[in-house]
Amino acid sequence: MFQLLKKQSPARILALGFAIVILLGSVLLILPCSVKQGVQLKYVDSLYTSTSAVCVTGLVVVDAGDTFTPLGQFFLVSLIQIGGLGVASVGVGIILAMRKKIDLKSRNLIKEASNLDSRKGIVRFVKNVLLITFIFELTGAALSFIVFIQDYPLLKALWISLFHSVAAFNNSGFDILGNFQNLISYQKDVMLNLVTCGLIFFGGIGFLVIQEIWNNKLNWKRYSMHAKVVISVSITLIVIGTTLIKLTENITWLGALFHSVSARTAGFSTYSLSEFSNAGLLVLTVLMFIGASSGSTGGGVKTSTFFVLLQGIKAAATNKSEKAFYHAIPKDAFHKAAIIALLAISVVIIGSWLMVVMEPNISLMDAIFEVTSAFGTVGLSTGITTKLSVGSKILSIIIMFIGRLGPLTIASLWHFAKPERVSYPEGNISIG
């Protein structure tokens, strides 16, 4: 078995690793010690919850606060942490803790999972990832505690704060407040709103960008092209999203800002989305589809992909080369971005069609929103998740899995590298 795994590509090993963790999590969550007394939890719901946690989504068919015991909630937050860091990073972290050497296969896995350019400095990168995660989550928990201690006893406030901080930094919209309320009861709490937005933002820009910010402080000129693209696109989307949501919905500016940030793969909400207009839901859907950034805890097609697509279109329209921030964009970047976008759109369209076929009573907008949320590993919902049939739940599980690994990675699982023995002359084909 081990020899067989060694022959597989990093993408296949990563996919298998995530699948194993999901299945193991589904078993742990359904144990009698994990479920509150008197609560009946079906296995498909346990599997759905485990998938949503490992894929750092946040879509729920059962309320985590009302369903799971403290031990079950610990299993849940552990799955979120593993999913956010990545199976490979967690595995390497354990190996480092055991003071063992990291072999070449493990380095390739980290490179593949984190979208790194080379294997150089892999061990240092993993150590920094673990340190960054610890600092942000601990800081977020401390700041959240100031809010939750006002409503809960000491120990419960501590646990809720830690759970919330881990979920927010890993861009997973789970909460343990009960009654499917999410953060609606805290919609006017400026402190918790801003702390959550901060955790989501930094978790969504990626560990490499956080490292650059730390090393170079606020010296914009010293940032790499990738960091500049991620930061500028992220801030631009937040501003545009906040403005459009405020224009279409009767909510506060704080609420508009929160949902603009959260829609970028976090999944927390301070207002009921079932009351949002179609225009507001469409804005959120676009933000969910674009998602976070490469090498982050979030999903979606990624901000860099979106940016490269825009630059490619601009270059084609103006007949100029693709460039940004005084750097030329790699020639194959647009090709890869276009493939990712096309595959992502295909997943959303096919998934939405299948859902409306299996759920004829839900609207097309709700289906598209739900599927995009699952693909972008967001966790926002208009309230239809708990009403889904078994078939639709399984469909969402598959889509969340695809969204976490990435459509291009999933497509590459079926690729068997063989040298091409025949070459053909170029033909002519009309485009546009």
pLDDT digits (tens, 9 = 90+) for 231-284: 999 999 999 999 999 999 999 999 999 999 999 888 899 999 989 999 999 999
Q: Is 45 inside a domain boundary?
A: yes
Q: Which two tokens stand for residue 182?
A: 């999410």
Tell me what the pLDDT averaged over the chain comes to. 86
Per residue, the 3-state secondary structure of 178-238, as one string, reads CCCCCCHHHCCCHHHHHHHHHHHHHHHHCHHHHHHHHHHCCCHHHCCHHHHHHHHHHHHHH
Cβ contact 288:378 at 8 Å: yes
Q: Which two tokens stand for residue 271?
A: 């207002």
Q: Is the dihedral of CA 343, 345, 349, 351 positive or negative?
A: positive
pLDDT digits (tens, 9 = 90+) for 112-144: 555 565 556 677 777 888 888 899 999 999 999
Contacts of 47 (CB under 8 A, 6+ apart): 22, 23, 26, 397
* Count of structural domains within the chain: 1
Helix axes 207-216, 122-148, angle to 10 degrees: 90
Q: Is 431 inside a domain boundary?
A: no
Residue-number span of the structural domain to which 324 is assigned: 2-114+121-411
Q: Is 425 inside a domain boundary?
A: no
> What integer is the mean pLDDT of 223-235?
91
Q: Is 430 inside a domain boundary?
A: no
How far apart CA 379 and CA 370 sit, in angstroms, is 8
Q: Is 428 inside a domain boundary?
A: no
Q: Is 429 inside a domain boundary?
A: no
- Of 369 and 211, more confident: 369
Residue 142, number of CB atoms within 10 A of its CB:
14
Q: Is 416 inside a domain boundary?
A: no
Q: Is 423 inside a domain boundary?
A: no
> What integer is the mean pLDDT of 215-232?
87
